[in-house]
Amino acid sequence: TLRGKTALVTGSTSGIGLGIARKLAGAGANVILNGFGDADEIRRIREDISAAFGVQTGYHNADLSIATEISAMMEYAQAEFGGVDVLVNNAGIQHVASVEDFPVEKWDAVIAINLTACFHTTRLALPLMRQKNWGRILNIASVHGLVASASKSAYVAAKHGLIGFTKTVALETAQTGVTCNAICPGWVLTPLVQKQVDARAERDGLSNEEAKKALLLEKQPSGEFVTPDQLGELAVFLCSDAASQIRGAAWNMDGGWAAQ
Ligand code: NAD
């Protein structure tokens, strides 16, 4: 159980991050949410989690592309919750374009949010984890941390980089109670992916359902989406004592994508 521990999940106002935050709360952790969104909606999400699981919730609106805002978020976590025991680096963005057409500012934003932010949160969370000799760092990479797809150069570079970073942190903490691992999801139907479904529907003149099927069948052998709840269950397992010797792993949950 994670009762009495605090989990910070970046990008948890939507999609996978929200699914993971709910499962960690279900395992007893207090959760700090982060991400963009409507203030009333975020308040509702917090109330819902507190009521359902009897845990404390917090929220910080740091824009993870800005280092000083990340520092402010980590200070908030320390002041209000006594630090972060479970750090889930989940916030991420996608941009789809060929290398030669890739907008430079989009490249910078993808690397900043999907990779550099994870360095900042980790370096700021680690000292207290070491002091407590317990911690879990979960980096939500992607199957695109293991294999590439065309037109996703920044994302694939950031996610491959995040897996490398995960391994390094795992080695630096190998003889402590802190573990660091990556999770590599295949397609999950979140707003990030719905945009790609919409683009395909428009491009190929397909219905929403047809576009989803086409997207899945191209890459994901199961033909089914992974769900945020399933990823949340994996996150809870990686936080357990049973997982204390899982270190530096890049664990895929991808309907068979990376097996090809
Ligand atoms: P999403 O778009 O549903 O959610 C992204 C979250 O990140 C939101 O809460 C958003 O507010 C937040 N966010 C975005 N930019 C931010 C910024 N600058 N500062 C702070 N928060 C910011 O996306 P998702 O599909 O749930 O993706 C979550 C993670 O999972 C990402 O790292 C993504 O790369 C990864 N992932 C997703 C899939 C998929 O199929 N959906 C597959 C593999 C990996």
Q: How far is the CA of 107 from the centre of ligand 1 (A)?
A: 16
Domains of the chain and any CATH numbers: 6-186+226-254 (3.40.50.720), 188-225 (no CATH)
Is 155 among the residues known to form the active site?
Answer: yes
- Could you tell me the CA-to-CA distances from 181 to 5, 31, 105, 127, 171 in Å, in that order? 18, 19, 29, 18, 11
Q: What is the pLDDT along the chain (260 residues), one digit of tens a residue?
A: 999 999 999 999 999 999 999 999 999 999 999 999 999 999 999 999 999 999 999 999 999 999 999 999 999 999 999 999 999 999 999 999 999 999 999 999 999 999 999 999 999 999 999 999 999 999 999 999 999 999 999 999 999 999 999 999 999 999 999 999 999 999 999 999 999 999 999 999 999 999 999 999 999 999 999 999 999 999 999 999 999 999 999 999 999 999 99
CA of 56 to the centre of ligand 1 (A): 23
Q: Compute and round to an integer the Cα radius of gyration of the chain.
A: 18
Distance between alpha carbon 233 and the CA centroid of its chain, in Å? Answer: 13
Instruction: Please state the ipTM of this predicted complex.
Output: 0.99
With 0.95 as the threshold, say if the pTM is over it: yes
Confirm if 122 and 172 have CB atoms less than 8 A apart: no
Catalytic residue among 81, 155, 187, 225: 155
